[in-house]
Amino acid sequence: MPTRRSPAPPPAGASGPYPVLVGLFAALLVISNVSAVKLIGLGAVDLFGVRFDVTVDGGVFLFPLTYILGDVLAEVFGFKAARRAIVLGFACSALAVLSFWLVQISPPAAGWAGQGAYEETLGFVPRVIGASLAGYLVGQLLNAFTLTAMKRRSGGRALWARLLGSTAVGELADTLVFCAIAFYGVITGPQFVGYAILGYIYKCLVEVALLPVTYRVVAWVRLRADGGHPRSRPGRPRSRNGPAGR
């Protein structure tokens, strides 16, 4: 009995939804990296007799969306197309780091008193973005690779499992790398452990909460990428005789 294969991904050309998704993907990444400069305190919790200070960074609002867009790109267009988007996001973030650094080392104008405030805020961005770039690159590539590998093995079925499984793998690598580089020595002890654990759980919960939205976005993008000709529903490849039945 022949194995069921997932449909070949549509081409990721200059037209259609692909360039729009890539642009949005890169924008969310850069904005999240800059926002991550601020640490947000949410109080404290007791876990297994240990008191943890609940701390998150400012990237908590938008960064999880980059993984959802990464899932959409990998699911619809394949690993190579997702990898191009990931590399572009990396390049945009690196350009932001360079720009902030050049502005920081440029001599301030006479009478401008904001140099100290600029260095105190954006002067910390290179370390944060360096950590984010490392975590992002490892996490997103693992996320895209895991999703596409699971898609091949499942024959395109069980989209929910691919989305959740790839996010769990990618976000774990991202969180560990980012936290170790960005905030090791800045926040320590239980606060550091709580920050890493809470960040990972939160990002995975966002993926779960937005799973119905991700399904709809995948279906919408796939339809537009196919030129308006419907293929199989997400996670349900068609049989040889037509659309998959119940």
pTM summary value: 0.76
CA 15 to chain centre: 23
Q: How far apart are CA 17 and CA 227, in angstroms?
A: 10
| Residue 89 · residue 29 · CB < 8 Å | yes
Residue 29: closest CA among 148, 146, 128, 102: 128
Instruction: Tell me what pLDDT residue 83 has.
Output: 94
Close Cβ partners of 187 (under 8 Å, ≥ 6 residues apart) = 39, 55, 195
- CA gap 71, 75 in Å, rounded: 6
Distance CA 54, CA 40 (A): 8
- Cα separation, 90 vs 134, in Å, equals 9
pLDDT at site 64: 85
**Model pLDDT, residue 48:** 65
Q: What does the alpha-carbon distance between residue 53 and residue 50 come to, in Å, rounded to a whole number? A: 10
Alpha carbon 245 to its chain centroid, in Å, reads: 34
Domains of the chain: 18-105+122-225 (1.10.1760)
* Per-residue pLDDT at 15: 63
Residue 191 parent element (H or E): helix 189-209
Nearest-10 crossing angle of helices 159-182, 63-77: 140
Task: State which residues of the chain have pLDDT below 50.
Answer: 1-3, 232-246
Q: Residue 17: left if φ>0, alpha if ψ -120 to 50, beta else—which one?
A: alpha
Q: What is the pLDDT of residue 242?
A: 42
- Sign for the CA dihedral angle at 119, 98, 84, 139 comes to negative
Instruction: Determine the pLDDT at residue 71.
Output: 92
